[in-house]
Amino acid sequence: MMAAGATVAVPAGASLPLGTGRKALVFAPHPDDEVIVGGLPLRLRREAGFAVTAVAVTLGSLASRRAARWDEQAAACAALGFGLVTPDRTGLEGVTPAGREGAHWPAAVARMAALLEAEQPAVIFVPHRVDWHPTHIGTHLLVVDAMASVPGLNVVVVETEFWGVMAAPNLLVESSVPDVADLVTALALHVGEVARNPYHLRLPAWMTDNVRRGAELVGGQGGVAPPMAFATLYRVRRWRDGGFHDQPGGRVLASGEPASVIEASLGLA
């Protein structure tokens, strides 16, 4: 369901976060990643009053699809009540580990740093360092370089996974059945992508497998599996003093927990 007052006409370089609470930025390597890892961002918006904004880092490698992918991402974000921003109307180029050595990289870092300084997010979401796909890894490197260039930045960093699993996630977040339905609906709005691969239909199965893995990786080996059907795995750390600092792990965030518990799971309380 589209959020009341949601706007999808987002000019290049502008940000339209929805809501009046603290801000969360979801750095999406490609359009659709904001939905795939969106279990916790959606709960932050709906249950803790956060203004969640997706950052379209790239619009994909196929130039002929970029305008359509922007429109699809805008529709998906509107359906979830997320804002949307892009540092470049056609998406950044060369966001890969190899691209980090290119002449274009400092300008891309500067754009991301400017976004962080302008938005002053309390939480950011970014792929983890070994999320397999070159653009996912490149997005991690780009955001880390941008954070390092912002003096005094103090922000909770939530690392996400999709292509490559994390070795040491420390947070398992349940999604309710209505939330999963809304995520699938939003993912289906990436029409051109799901036409070639209906991965929106497989999202619930992926989230179910996250429960299996998270029961051991987050809950501890040999522990009792949490009574949930759908969840997403994350790794939470804090960036301050120019580097990452670990936070307490082993947290399982069940559906229906109060906002105070959601915020405590991120070290915000």
pTM as predicted: 0.91
pLDDT (tens place) for every residue of the chain, 269 residues total: 333 233 333 334 334 444 457 999 999 999 999 999 999 999 999 999 999 999 999 998 888 888 899 999 999 999 999 999 988 777 899 999 999 999 999 999 999 999 999 999 999 999 999 999 999 999 999 999 999 999 999 999 999 999 999 999 999 999 999 999 999 999 999 999 999 999 999 999 999 999 999 999 998 888 788 999 999 999 999 999 999 999 887 899 999 999 999 999 999 97
Ordered by where they begin, the domains of the chain are 23-265 (3.40.50.10320)
Residues 184 and 76: beta-carbon distance below 8 Å: no
